[in-house]
Each structure stands twice: as C-alpha cells, then as structure tokens.
Amino acid sequence: MEKTKFGLALAAALSLAPISAKAEELRVGLAAIATSVDPHFHRAGYNFDLRENISDALVYANGATGEVEPRLAASWEITSDTNWLVILEPKAKFDNGNPLGADDVIYSLCRVRNVPNSPGLYSGFIETVANVTDAGNGKIMIESREPDPNLLRNLSNIGIVENPTGRTLTYDDKTCGNDSWLDTNGFNNGTVSAGIGHYRVTKFTPDVEIVLQRNDQYYGKPAHYDTVVIKALPDNSARIAALLGDSVDVINSVPINAVESVQSAGKFHLSSTPSTLLIFLLADQHQEPTPKVSDADGKNPFLDPRVRKALNLAINRNEIAETVMGGMAQPAGQIILDGIFGHNPDLAPYPYDPAKAKALLAEAGYPNGFSLVLSAPSDRYVNGAQVAQAVAAMLSQIGLQVTLETFPRSIYFTKASDYEFSLYLAGAAADTGEGLSQMINLAGTRDPDRGWGGANRGRYSSEVTDKHLAQAQATLDDAEREKLIQAASKQVYEDDGYVPLYHELGVWAVRNGIQYEANANLINIFYTARPE
C-alpha cells in the first residue's frame, strides 16, 4: 500500500517535472491594470481582468466562445421561472483548505453592496437577485425577482470570497444583517485571500505591477505559466518600447500606428478579435432647443427621424474602419456585434449615400444644413479623436456646418451626463457577453430607478423598443428571447435612434512561441496562455 502511494507520487512528480523544471514566466504589459485585488471593489474592465484570473465566480462567460462555462457552480438547473438550483463545485477549496460552501456564496453576494468608498459598485449585476439560500448538500437556490435569463451571466462577474463571519447570512438587498465586512486593503496587502482562482496575487503595487503565482490546488484545469507579471504601461509608446525591447512578452491595445513596427520586428504576432465595444454617435433626442445646434430656428433637428437617417447615410463606415482605424475596427450597423447573442442578421449595413442624406435634410427643412458641434472624448477610445475628425468631415459633406470639440474623459462624461451635448461620440460594451444588457444600457429609455439606459445620454426613447426589451428580460427561452432582442434592434435601426460606427477590435501583440487568447470582452485571460 505504502509502496503504491510512493509510486504514484513519483509518477506524478515525474509527469510534472518538465513543467516545473523551468519556472515559466509570462510578462504582460497592459494599458491599465487592476486598481485593487478586492474582487468587489470597483467595476471596471481592468478589474474584471484580474478578478477572472484570481477569484472565480459561479460561472465564466467566455468572451471567446460566447458560452457560459461552469466554475464554482459545477452545474445548475432552472426549477421554476425564477428559481435556479446551483450545485457547487465539490473540489473547490480556499487557500486555507476550507471547502466552498453555500454561506460563502451568500456572503459574497451580500458584500457586493457593502464595499465602503467604492468608486463603482458591482451591484448592477445582482439587482435581479431576490434571495439566495442554502439548499443543503452543497447546493444553493437562487431566486430572481422576475424571470431573468441572464442571471448566471451577471453572476459571472462576482468573485466568490470566503465567508469570515462564522455564520450563514440571510440574504437581503441591504446588509444581510451583517455590519462588519472584509476590508479592501486586506485584499491588497495579501492578508485576505481573494477567493479560489487559477492564480494568487503575490505582489500588488497599484499602477505599477501585479505578480501572480499559479494556484496548484486549483480544482479545474491548471494554468500553464508558474508566474505572471503584469506591468502597467499606460503610455502607448512606452508599451510598444517594452515589447520591442524585450521587457514584456504580450501587450494589449496595440496602438494602430505601431502595428507595422510590431510586425516588421519579426518576433511577434498579432492576436485580434472584434470586441463587443460599440463606438457610436448619439444625437440628443430629448431637448428642444438642443445646446450645441444653431441656425435651426430654435428647434432640435434631431427630433426629426429624417435628420437622424441623414446622419446614418452620411457616414462612410468602411472608410473609417480601414483608413482611420487601420483595419482595427469592424463597421457596425447595429448595437450588437455579429456572433453575439441577440445580433440581428437581417439588418443590412447602412449604405454610404451622401446625396440621399442631403435630400433628406432638405426634406426635413434644412436645405442649407445647420450649425452643429460634434463632441468627442480625446483619450478614451482607440483613435477616438481622429475618428471624430473624420466623422465631422463626412457630416460637412452633406451640408452641415460641423465644429469638433474634444475633451479628456475626466471632463467629457460629466458633460455628457449633464446633457450638454447635441451629437456626441461614445462607446459601450456588453459586460455580460450577450446583447440584451447592452441593448438595455444603450437603447432602453433612460430611467435611473429601473437601471435602464445608463449610457443612453442622448435619451433615445421608443415604446416599442422598451416593450421588446422588457419582454426579453422576462423570457427564459433562448430562441424566443433572441427574437425579441432582434426585434428591439430592428426598431432602433428603423428609428435611426443610434448612429453605430464600428465595433473596436481587441488587438494584442504576442511574442512568437506564445499562444495568447484574444477575448471579445477585452479581458486578459492568463490561464489559457501557453507556449505554442
């Protein structure tokens, strides 16, 4: 008996030997790195990055395949319209050896609303959760307020941490009867574990560097690299220099003007995929007069659908994608990216037809156009300011007198939220990896109480769209729900409510010999990276 055990251990050691012999390290330079190790501290793309690698959620919404994969939830079953029975992964253990329990899940969901000084809570992801209870035998029951098809997708953003209270909390949407919560700083300085993940954080220096060590006790398929060093390289040229100068192996958001130098170096390849991030123009469809339009007799021309249609016809999307974006964009005719749940394949791309656009303007009563200020952020999106310039030029070709104003994002979004713009450029992605949340966020009538239209700062509003979206939100059947989302997309298309420009491509530059996943949610997954 002893002998067999030893033999097994030896065999295991030998089989591991080639991997552990050379401690393999992956060095990644990112434009923005996580601001905290705390998985619930700040809802932002760069924090999703780290969270997905160090703190598993119940499920993983795979940005590369669009599928929902099991993580801490080994499997699940919908027992009624609003009840989800989730079986927890029995092999999942926290760093101290404690197995995952229902109380940990309840504690984590409760903590989401109780992170002091959070500059942006994750609470939007658990809004529909009505109750979470321990169903015994390693199962939990999640109840939603109304039928919510995207319940698990939303929960895929909530990392599960260990419950330190020693008792099982009773879920509610306030504090769950608990008044002392894990402190964010504890996660940052390593005294509190961030949960169960492929990696553990061994060093965290904000805005400089994060070092990850592989978690060898991970319950699932282990990550390949022993250590991952993540460096903050916000400056485009510094990021490129670090790659070319061999201090990192992978960089994200490759600047368009550097693509050539990366390729000509001969040591790297580009890994890219269209992302769900839609860059769009949105016209003020609420105020009259609208602040940044003049020579229109005190009217808001964008309230006229013909004018909005003219905007859509005036823009040469292929030209923008090819020339200004250097091919790093996929022209868009609707909000949802092709291949993402809810995309409507029947909507034809908007044709580029400046003559017709001019005619529509004349028909709407503006044969000589009107004066308009186009607003755009200067430092938020890849080549955003240049795209806005191209758009301004295209709009002047249909007879509008366009002035372009750009602001750094620190000012821009405050102004947009205060409705100071008449036509503005912005972007929004699908956090959940499917189209419904993105549609609600962009095309739903802006309503803070309902949590709709958060990025709809032009206040596009259509009863039909809202009806379809509300119905989709309550439909659990995938095929039926997709039809409803597609119907909403069609309505937005027909209303010319949005001027979709393109979906940004996520572009990574990777050293040859390394395989690195291009993720449609623009998230960096380190555990799938491996040598080729």
Partner 1 sequence: MLSFVLKRLLQSVIVMLLLSIVIFVGLWLIGNPADVLISSEATEADRLAAIKALGLDKPLWQQYLIFLGNAVQGDWGTSFVYKEPVTTILLQRLPASVELAAVAFVIAITVSIPAGLYAGLRPDSAPARAIMAFSLVGVSIPTFWQGMLLIIAFGIAIPILPVGDRGDIATYFGITSSLWTLDGWSHVVLPAFSLALLKMSLLIRVTRAATVEVSHLDFVTFAYAKGVRAWKVVIGHILRNALIPLVTVIGIEVGNLLAYGVITETVFSWPGLGKLLINSIKVLDRPLIVAQLTYTALLFIFINFVVDILYTVIDPRVKSVMGRQVT
Under rule CB under 8 A, residue 154 binds partner 1: no
Q: Closest separation between CB of residue 35 and partner 1, Å?
A: 5
Distance, CA of 314 to CA of 390 (rounded, Å)? 11
CA dihedral 81, 82, 85, 86 (to 10 degrees): 120
Q: Which of 203, 267, 415, 459 binds partner 1 (CB under 8 A)?
A: 415
Find the binder of partner 1 among 70, 138, 396, 413 (CB under 8 A). 413
Stretch in the footprint of partner 1 (CB under 8 A) among 64-72, 123-131, 300-308, 330-338:
123-131
Q: Where do the DSSP E strands lie in 159-226?
A: 199-205, 209-214
Residues near 499 by beta carbon (within 8 Å), at least 6 away in sequence:
280, 281, 282, 283, 308, 311, 312, 315
Binding positions for partner 1, 442-461, rule CB under 8 A = 446-449, 451-452, 454-455
**Rg of the Cα atoms in the chain:** 25
Q: Which is nearer to partner 1, 286 or 415 (CB)?
A: 415
Least distance CB 158 / partner 1 (angstroms): 14
> What are the two backbone dihedrals, phi and then psi, of residue 16, each rounded to the nearest 5 degrees?
-80, -25
* Cα 22 to Cα 18: distance, rounded to the nearest angstrom: 7
Q: How far is the CB of 281 from partner 1 (least distance, A)?
A: 15
128/215 with CB nearer partner 1: 128
Is 23 near partner 1 (CB under 8 A)? Answer: no
Q: Which of residues 80-119 bind partner 1 (CB under 8 A)?
A: 116-119
Q: Which residues are bridge partners to 487 per DSSP?
A: none
409 near partner 1, rule: CB under 8 A: yes
Supply 197's token pair.
Answer: 């993940």
Per CB under 8 A, does 231 bind partner 1? yes
CA angle 206, 211, 213 (to 5 degrees): 145
Residue 402 binds to partner 1 (criterion: CB under 8 A): no
The one-letter amino acid at 87: I
Q: How far apart are CA 297 and CA 242, in angstroms?
A: 55
Site string for partner 1, 258-297 (x = CB under 8 A): ----------------------------------------
Count other C-beta atoms under 10 Å from residue 43's C-beta.
Answer: 18
The verdict on 521 binding partner 1 (CB under 8 A) reads no
Contact between 408 and partner 1 by CB under 8 A: the answer reads: yes
**Interface with partner 1 (CB under 8 A), residue from 7, 90, 234, 531:** 234
**Can you tell me the distance from the alpha carbon of 411 to that of 176, in angstroms, rounded to the nearest whole number?**
37
Q: In this chain, which of 193, 438, 461, 524 binds partner 1, going by CB under 8 A?
A: 438
Closest to partner 1 by CB, 115 or 320: 115
Residue 247 Cβ, how far from partner 1 at the closest point, in Å?
5
CB of 377 to partner 1, least distance (A): 10
Min. distance of Cβ 235 from partner 1 in angstroms?
Answer: 5
Please tell me the distance from the alpha carbon of residue 501 to that of residue 328, in angstroms, as a whole number.
13
Which of 28, 30, 40, 43 is close enough to bind partner 1 by CB under 8 A?
Answer: 43
The number of residues in the chain equals 532
Region 359-398 residues binding partner 1, contact defined as CB under 8 A: 379
Q: Which of residues 190-209 bind partner 1 (CB under 8 A)?
A: 205-209
Figure out which of the listed residues 246, 295, 478, 480 binds partner 1, where binding follows CB under 8 A. 246
Buried b (16+ CB within 10 A) or exposed e, 421-454: bbbbbbbbbbbbbbbbbbbbbbbbbbeeeeebbb
Rounded distance between C-alpha atoms, residue 486 and residue 508, angstroms = 31
Q: CB of residue 120 vs partner 1: minimum separation in angstroms?
A: 4
Q: How far is the CB of 119 from partner 1 (least distance, A)?
A: 4
Could you give the CA distance from residue 419 to residue 25 in angstroms, rounded to a whole number? 48
What amino acid occupies position 44? Answer: A
Q: Round to whole Å and give the CA distance between 307 and 291.
A: 17
Q: If binding is defined by CB under 8 A, does position 179 make contact with partner 1?
A: no
Cα–chain center distance at 221: 24
* Gap between the Cα atoms of 369 and 489, Å rounded: 29
Longest dimension (CA), the chain: 93
Span of 80-88, 239-247, 352-360, 480-488 interacting with partner 1 by CB under 8 A: 239-247
Interatomic CA distance for residues 519 and 525, integer angstroms: 8
DSSP assigned state of 141: E
Footprint of partner 1 (CB under 8 A)? 35-36, 38, 41-45, 116-121, 123-124, 127, 184-185, 188, 205-209, 231-235, 237-239, 241-242, 244-247, 379, 408-417, 426-431, 437-438, 441, 446-449, 451-452, 454-455
